A and B are shown apart, each in its own frame.
Chain A
Amino acid sequence: MEFLSPSTLEEALEAKSAHPDGLPIMGGTDVMVELNFDKRRPAALIDLTRIPELAEWGAEDGCTRLGAGVPYTRIIEHLSAAAPALAKASRSVASPQIRNRGTVGGNLGGASPAGEAHPPLLATDAVIELASVRGRRRVPAREFYLSFRTTARRDDELITAVLLPEPSGPQQFAKIGTRNAMVIAVTSFSLALDAERRTVGTGLGSAGPTPLRAEAAEEFLAGEFDWEGGAPLPEAAVRRFGELVAAASRPIDDQRGSAGYRRHALSVMARRALSWSVTDYRKEATRCA
């Protein structure tokens, strides 16, 4: 196995171009597990830890530009206002040691449907930045996940950043695990209300072969929600929203939980996330008034 250690993004892109089957490695929290268990044997590893640009974040055109190599710990510390749902999801990732190493870029590269970052990226309509020697391009998260562990990223491309829109309303994230820390999602859910555009975003994790959206639920809630005053929704509407979220899932039975439980849990999380969002929205509305 070749080990490539570029020190600039340009070198990294050249390396990826020369070794399209080379596997990028940042924190190694996913890649090293697969290597250690002999589940994967890439021809080359491309170490991205020496590239400063990937580990940076900052404001850019009304968004937050988050380098693909920023560890979850930094996101929790610095982005809980700029990206509330992603920060909440980051807090639920594994253990402190893994949060110190693991990155959103790694989550996107592996594209496991259980990855914590995906539901918030879907719900908030984030954009993934991809780069290659041919140039850079941007793909909305909502178009990024194609099929099981397959994404819109091309073989010669590296994931360089994620663009997180400035929040314009409450954002939630919740994840089910059968212990109270350090657990892979049985299923997870993220909700974002966009007061400016009057739209609703959702993201479902471990609910199908890819991270999913519940589009019917989004449209339903966008129509039902009181965008002016944030009045609480009738119980029937809350219930309907939960049902629509569960209906969008395509879960399986596996060692972590049954499909039936996953659907049930998604509807409960969706209802709760909605009620928390209404509360937050009203607080925000009161503050602005």
Chain B
Amino acid sequence: MAATTRTVTGLTSTTKDGVGASPRRPDGTLKVTGEFAYSSDMWMEDMLWGATLRSPHPHAEIRGIDVTGALEVPGVHAVLTHEDVPGEKRYGLEFQDQPVLAFGKVRYKGEPVAVVAADHPETARRAMERIRVDYAVLEPVTDSRRAAMDPDCPPVHEAGSLPEHPEFNQRGNRLRHQPIRTGAFAEAAGAAAREGAVLERLRSEAAVVVSSEYEVGMQDQAFLGPESGMAVPAEDGGVDLYVATQWLHVDQRQIAPALGLPQDKVRLTLAGVGGAFGAREDLSMQIHACLLALRTGRPVKFVYNREESFYGHVHRHPAKMRYEHGASSDGRLLYATAEVVVDGGAYASATPAVVGVASSLGIGPYEVPNVLVDAYGVYTNNPPCGAMRGFGAVQACFAYESQMDRLAAELGMHPVDLRIKNALSQGSRIITGQEIDMPLPMAEMLQRCRDLPMPPERGALPDPGDLRTLPGGVAGTTRGEGVVRGVGYGVGLKNLCFSEGFDDYSTARVRLEVVAGEPVVMVHTAAAEVGQGLVTVKGQIARTELGVEKVVIHPSDTQVGSAGSSSASRQTYMTGGAVRTACASVRAAVFALARERGLVPGDLPDTDLALAGGKVVSATAGALVSLADLLGEAAQGGVVVEETREFHHRPTEMLDPLLGQGASHTQFGMCVHRAVVDVDVDLGLVKVVALDAVQDVGKVMHPQQLAGQIQGGSAQGLGLALMEEILVEDGVIRNPSFTDYLIPTILDTPPMRIEVLEHPDPHAPYGLRGAGEPPTLSSTPAVVAAVRAATGRPLTHAPVRPEDIVGIDL
């Protein structure tokens, strides 16, 4: 199939508001005018406000909880502790290890201990302060490497701490250890001494060897809309929950058992979501609100404030990594070893899956014949970590790309040439043995990225004295003194859709009917619109597949089958695929009806038919009948065609526990970045001048939204490169605010030149590839590489701190 390359601004479409066009978002006007109702805006006359009492300690035994004082506060309707949880007392995405409300122990600072409902949020907070909890403070486990390696490290979860799983946590604090062994390492696998001997031999064969330790800090998703939602008790004894989440059905699956209710008594509807990026995969206030609503018989609303939000959701796993690469003198990689420890914090969340990604993609998109990877995910008493855009691949990418730059420097090669020399392509196998059975034009992408025009030199700017163009900005720290320019590259490989044997699917219900003489399509899924624009794409697919202009998007809720999570860059693929499949069934039903009515000449097969312009048309016989005539007005007994379909992607496999082999991933995505930075080398301040990208997306579904995804992912990676880190000391977050947790502003975010390639993936609907995550991987190492180029410093910690650039020991 021929691939096309276009710049994002030059894209056009032939189908009005169909696939490939850039129709406006249905919720766009409301959002820009401030009228869109986010989950925190919900209101009911008789509602109560919830508040959460959280642990002040990272690790402590709970000796007693006294709620008497809180209950005495006028206006308080309920105060609940773990004793009031009627069903399962723990929940979790992968392991059911997280208490709904703490009992026995608290394992991180900020862990919910009790919840209050009152007629005013202030009253709820005041009452909360009167709950007395008797803690016996314990030493926190905060060193993730110690948690992974030291058998004497105290366990965060004692063996047997899940009564129904007495085997739980036999491995101490290790949640998952995933080894990968290939080539000579595979032959020696399992015996440390033999593996060591193999490594020694490979070292002696390599012309150059580079090794280093790297760290990636704990990044926050920094969504703008804090955790919020409202639970409304129902007459049938159940509860209706309106909430901002990423996956309604996985919430339902965890909430209902805690409430002791059957699944169908817990109905969820998606409320307006103010960003997600992985942080809404885990539950926050969902069960608490439902418990209070069922107890009080009143609607209960929760809204976390910004500080509480830092404790209310999981973050990106901080990683400690040791890498070694050996290459021949012509730059060909001979071997690579990696030890990756990701800190899962107090509860498992998505840690095991993150380890699965960090290990399988741990060496990146390179051909390496001998590989030894050990990836660990551990429990500590640090804040829990889980899903965030890039999901384990981000951390590894920073390390392996830094290694590529060191190798190139050692060899005197251009960093792009070294990468091209070892690039994967279609037909290659990654280190798990999985074949890349879709286009992967990595060498071409790198070449294109290098060839993109460079931004003007400082001297060529219209006003080189404009402070906004200088590191430090309008704070005026330099007028050009100490400013050095650097250029760096990064490339990353990301798995798209869910991996490792998960039966990943989405469901769509599509209805076609005639209303007021016009055919109208209704699309109903449970997919979470989190800002990414799926709500637009669903409509585009329905228009393209059914040839109807008017599409209504039904609110997302649990009255239709699961759509899976709005994560892993998967919704356009999966829910898009489900909508397309359901549309195809609707279309087939319409054709059958037309045949039944004798409107289709007998010798015309379905493949000759299409729906276009509100009509059934034949390629050979032209327009056959309008949908309005064929179906008739729905309100007057006309035909309503409705189909519900599931869409599953092809099955994947678990990685085997010894060698880490298996076709664990559904699809691969790639982005390449080139960063150009100006660094004030005396003060350690950085201005990113350009951050240009080349990404292959298989098929551009919505050019404008795609540009937004690539720009946003690039900016999020820039943030991780230069400023975004939750600082945790002894288990305590030191900067739980947007005052001290910095994310890039418009003055930190450069113009971005974006080139999009469309090599279709034959396995995916429309040939598309998930697009949201890949840019988040590669922009971080590209920016850090550019800062290294400007400063000559090793810079092994992301984000880079001014102290690192100027060389001051902390």
Contacts of B742-764 to chain A: CB distance below 8 A:
742, 744-748
B31 at the interface (CB under 8 A from A): no
A261/B803 in contact, CB under 8 A: yes
Contact A261 B473 (CB under 8 A): no
> A264 to B808, Cβ gap below 8 A?
yes
CB proximity of B733 to chain A, nearest CB, Å: 9
Chain B residues whose CB sits within 8 angstroms of the CB of A255 once the complex forms: 727, 734-735, 740
**Could you tell me the distance in whole angstroms from the C-beta of B67 to the nearest C-beta in chain A?**
20
Contacts of A36 in B (CB 8 A): 305
Instruction: Say yes or no: A272-B477 contact (C-beta < 8 A), given A38-B125, A258-B803, A261-B802.
Output: yes
Which residues in chain B, 302-330, are within 8 Å of chain A measured between CB atoms?
305, 307
Q: Mark A131-174, 1 if CB is under 8 A from B, else 0.
A: 00000000000000000000000000000000000000000111
A258 CA / B804 CA spacing, docked (Å): 11
Tell me the complex Cα distance, A162–B739, Å.
27
Considering only residues 447-495 of chain B, those with a C-beta below 8 Å from chain A are 468, 471-479, 481-482
User: In this assembly, does A217 line the interface, its C-beta being within 8 Å of a C-beta of chain B?
Assistant: no
Report the minimal beta-carbon distance from B732 to chain A, rounded to whole angstroms: 11
Instruction: State whether A176 touches B802 (Cβ < 8 A).
Output: yes
Q: Is the interface of B mostly helix, strand, loop or mixed?
A: loop
Q: Is the CB of B472 within 8 A of A184?
A: no
- A179-B742, A180-B745, A256-B740 known; A261 vs B735 contact (CB < 8 Å): no
B801 interface contact, C-beta 8 A: yes
Task: Confirm or deny: A79 has a beta carbon within 8 angstroms of a beta carbon on chain B.
Answer: no
B311 to A: closest C-beta gap in Å: 13
Chain B residues, Cβ within 8 Å of A258 = 803, 808, 810
A261/B747 contact (C-beta < 8 A), A174-B477, A181-B473, A183-B742 known: no
Q: Contact: A179 with B476, CB < 8 Å?
A: no
The answer to whether A179 touches B808 (Cβ under 8 A) is no
Number of residues of chain A lying within 8 A (CB) of chain B: 38
Please give me the residue from chain A that is nearest to B470 by CB atom: A180
Is A92 interfacial (CB-CB < 8 Å)? yes
Q: Given the complex, which residues of B lie within 8 Å of A172, measured CB to CB?
A: 476
Contact B739 A272 (CB under 8 A): no
The reply to whether A176 and B472 form a contact with Cβ atoms under 8 Å apart is: yes
Give the chain A neighbours of B744 by CB distance below 8 A.
Answer: 179
Is the C-beta of A8 less than 8 angstroms from some C-beta in chain B?
no
Given contacts A179-B744, A261-B802, contact A174 B476 (CB under 8 A): yes
Residue of A92, A261, A276 near B475 (CB, 8 A) is A92
B723: Cβ under 8 A from any A Cβ: yes
**In whole Å, how far is B687's beta carbon from the nearest beta carbon of chain A?**
6
Q: Does B225 contact A (CB under 8 A)?
A: no
Q: Contact check, A180 vs B477: say whether CB atoms are below 8 A apart.
A: no
User: In the complex, what distance in Å separates the CA atom of A264 from the CA atom of B683?
Assistant: 8
A272-B802 contact given A178-B723, A261-B808, CB 8 Å threshold: no
Judge whether A180 and B740 touch: CB under 8 Å. no
The count of residues in chain B whose C-beta lies closer than 8 Å to any C-beta of chain A is 40
**Bound CA–CA A257/B477 (angstroms):** 16
Q: Are B305 and A179 in contact (CB under 8 A)?
A: no
Which residues of chain A come closer than 8 Å to B809, judged between CB atoms? 260
Which residue of chain A lies nearest to B805 when distances are taken between CB atoms in the complex?
Answer: A261
The A/B interface has a contact count, at CB < 8 Å, of 105
Across the interface, do B305 and A37 meet the contact criterion of CB distance under 8 Å? yes
Residues of A close to B810: CB separation below 8 A: 253, 258, 260
Instruction: State which of B479, B481, B687, B803 has its C-beta within 8 Å of the C-beta of A257.
Output: B803
A182 CA to B746 CA in the complex, in Å?
Answer: 10
Query: How distant is B122 from chain A, measured CB to nearest CB, in Å?
Result: 9
B803 and chain A: residue at smallest CB distance: A261
Are A178 and B802 in touch, CB under 8 angstroms?
Answer: yes
Q: Tell whether A213 is near chain B: CB-to-CB under 8 Å.
A: no
Asked if A175 meets B477 with Cβ closer than 8 Å, knowing A37-B305, A180-B747, the reply is yes
Contacting residues, chain B, for A275 (C-beta < 8 A): 481
Q: Do B803 and A260 touch (CB < 8 A)?
A: yes
* Residues on the B chain within 8 Å of A261, using CB: 684, 802-803, 806, 808
- Complex interface: chain B residues within 8 A of A254 (CB): 734
Known contacts: A37-B305, A174-B477, A179-B748. The answer to whether A257 contacts B723 by CB under 8 A is no
A88 interface contact, C-beta 8 A: yes
Which residues in window 254-289 of A have CB below 8 A to B? 254-258, 260-261, 264-265, 268-269, 272, 275-276
| A106 CB, nearest partner CB in chain B, Å | 16
Q: Chain B contacts of A118 at CB under 8 A?
A: none
Q: Among B482, B687, B740, which residue has the most Cβ atoms of chain A within 10 A?
A: B740
Q: Cα distance A265–B684 when bound, in Å?
A: 9
Answer whether residue A177 sits at the interface, using C-beta atoms and an 8 A cutoff.
yes
B125 CB contacts on chain A under 8 angstroms: 38
Counting CB contacts under 8 A, is A91 at the interface? Answer: yes
Task: Give the CA-CA distance A68 to B746 in the complex, in Å.
Answer: 30
Report the minimal beta-carbon distance from A185 to chain B, rounded to whole angstroms: 8
Whether A181 and B808, one on each chain, are in contact in the complex, defined by CB atoms closer than 8 angstroms, is: no
Given contacts A176-B472, A268-B682, contact A276 B479 (CB under 8 A): yes
| Alpha-carbon distance between A181 and B808 when the two chains are bound, in angstroms | 24
Contacting pair A257 B739 (CB below 8 A) = no
CA distance A254 to B740 in the complex (A): 10
Interface string of B600-622 (1 = CB under 8 A from A): 00000000000000000000000
Q: Which chain A residues border B476 with CB–CB below 8 Å?
A: 88, 91-92, 172-175
Determine the chain A residues whose CB is within 8 A of the CB of B358 once the complex forms: none
CA distance A233 to B453 in the complex (A): 42
A180 cross-chain contacts in B, Cβ below 8 A: 468, 471-475, 685, 687, 745, 747-748
Q: Shortest distance in angstroms between A21's beta carbon and chain B's nearest beta carbon?
A: 20
Are B735 and A178 in touch, CB under 8 angstroms? no
Q: Which residues of B contact A (CB under 8 A)?
A: 125, 305, 307, 468, 471-479, 481-482, 682-685, 687, 722-723, 727, 734-735, 739-740, 742, 744-748, 801-803, 806, 808-810
List of 7 A-B pairs having minimum Cβ-Cβ separation, nearest first: A180-B473, A175-B475, A181-B747, A92-B475, A255-B734, A180-B747, A255-B735
Listed A/B pairs (26) with beta-carbon separation below 8 Å: A88-B476, A91-B474, A92-B474, A92-B475, A92-B476, A174-B476, A174-B477, A175-B476, A176-B802, A179-B742, A180-B471, A180-B474, A180-B687, A181-B745, A181-B746, A181-B747, A181-B748, A186-B802, A188-B475, A257-B803, A260-B803, A260-B810, A264-B808, A269-B683, A272-B477, A272-B478
Give A residues with C-beta under 8 Å from B.
36-38, 88, 91-92, 95, 172-186, 188, 253-258, 260-261, 264-265, 268-269, 272, 275-276
Q: Could you list 7 further interchain pairs (A-B, Cβ under 8 angstroms) beyond the known A178-B801, A261-B802? A: A37-B305, A181-B473, A181-B747, A184-B739, A185-B475, A258-B810, A260-B803
